[in-house]
Amino acid sequence: MDAIGVFDSGVGGLTVAAALRRRLPRESILYLGDTARLPYGSKSPETVTRYTLRNIEFLVERGVKAVVVACNTASALALPRLVPDLHLELPTWGVIEPGARKAASVTRGRVGIIATDATVRSDAYPRALRALRPDLEILSQPCPLFVPLVEEGWYDDPITEQIAERYLRPLLDARVDTLVLGCTHYPLLVPVLRRVAGPDVTLVDSAEAVAEVVAAGLTEGGIESASPPSGRPEHHVCVTDAGEKFHQLAGRILGEDVTLEWVEVT
């Protein structure tokens, strides 16, 4: 189908799909949300790796030309294990490296990472940042309640703000100047995070950075879509479990009503 395959544990990766659509308006996107097994952020590297492998296999069977792992947890825990093992023939990108690159380019020296438990434990962001700039001071903070708060629809809520204040306090006390949103759900919390972090902290959302990397990679590999302006790309969203909340959130992120195909991936 010549599409770019994108997957996440749930709805959050649609923030990456939306960035891809803006940056690459000619490309079709096949999105897979593994909603039957979400969240990944509280689970072990072995389990997340198994799920990631199955999701990539699903996308490959559907004939995608490239894969974007739009889930920070899967990018952090599974990609480093899978890529060498699989000798993946398709171009495959995660979200850690682009996000780290962007943070390294904007920070004045102190970077805070907010992410799921599993992503923080993996040390993937600090490792990627130190490889780019060994001079950086880096602090990480797991924020396990942020995903459920987004899924509850409490994006911009006084209770969410209190929770953000508690999570971010150690980072702000340490005077980080840059905050990496290390989970694809977190861009939905930007209004709250902006208020809590204040105007002097730069928020880094890796979605745009990922879209740049993918655009460059498609060109480099000679696989960018050459359809004329009249040829319309196709966007398709698959989920491993039905859910009204996914549907609502997907509409909010993509700015349009979304039809979901329910697929089984085990």
Supply the residues annotated as catalytic.
71, 183
Instruction: Tell me whether residue 46 or residue 200 sits nearer to its own copies (CB atom).
Output: 46
Find the shortest distance in angstroms from Cβ 36 to its own copies.
5
Instruction: Tell me whether residue 6 or residue 48 sits nearer to its own copies (CB atom).
Output: 48
Provide the binding-site residues for its own copies, judged by CB under 8 A. Answer: 35-37, 42-44, 46-47, 117, 144-145, 148-149, 151-152, 159, 162-163, 166, 240-243, 245, 266
Instruction: Tell me whether residue 53 or residue 88 sits nearer to its own copies (CB atom).
Output: 53
Find the shortest distance in angstroms from Cβ 260 to its own copies.
12
Find the shortest distance in angstroms from Cβ 108 to its own copies.
32
Burial of 63 (0-12, 13-18, 19+ CB in 10 A): exposed
Mutual orientation of helices 96-106 and 124-132 as an angle, nearest 10°?
50
Short-list 116, 143, 96, CA closest to 41: 116
Instruction: Tell me whether residue 57 or residue 152 sits nearer to its own copies (CB atom).
Output: 152
Give dist(CA 9, CA 266) in Å, integer. Answer: 13
CA distances 31 to 21, 119, 169, 241, Å, are 12, 22, 35, 14
Find the shortest distance in angstroms from Cβ 84 to its own copies.
23
